[in-house]
Amino acid sequence: MERSEFYSSQAGRRIAAPRRSRARFAIGDVVKHRSHDFRGVIFDIDPVYANSEEWFEQIPEEQRPRRDQPFYHLLAENEESSYVAYVSQQNLLMDNDDEPIDHPQVSQLFEEFRGGRYRLRRSLTH
């Protein structure tokens, strides 16, 4: 399998990743966590785990996801608050509520919500 590297500011190092990754979700998709009560909109995708070792070690061992799968950065919300979440692909499901995310940073990254997903601001696309 061909591999490439990318720099992760969260991990503070370069991360080796497969050249081709199979992300199930895309930037702008609204998703929900499989077992925790929160939902969010995806604003970035890492092809493999690219956070710190300290963050990974805080996850209870019996719940730790595999590192060799896509991980998603979400503008997330639950009943109490809004926050940024970092979640493995295996723990996400599409959210079919067709309701927007009530996160204060959504308007900074996305232009509109239509058809159950957000469109990234044109100024942020390549």
CB 106 within 8 A of CB 112: no
pTM summary value: 0.84
Q: Answer yes or no: are the C-beta atoms of 1 and 17 closer than 8 Å.
A: no
- Domains in the chain: how many in total? 1
CA distance 12 to 119: 30
CATH number at residue 69: 2.30.30.390
Q: How many whole angstroms separate alpha carbon 118 and alpha carbon 122?
A: 12
- Residues for the chain: how many in total? 126
Domain range enclosing 29: 3-124
How do the pLDDT tens digits run along the chain, 126 residues long? 566 666 666 656 666 656 566 889 999 999 999 999 999 999 999 999 999 889 999 999 998 999 989 999 999 999 999 999 999 999 999 999 999 999 999 999 999 999 989 999 988 766
Cβ proximity of 59 and 88 under 8 Å: no
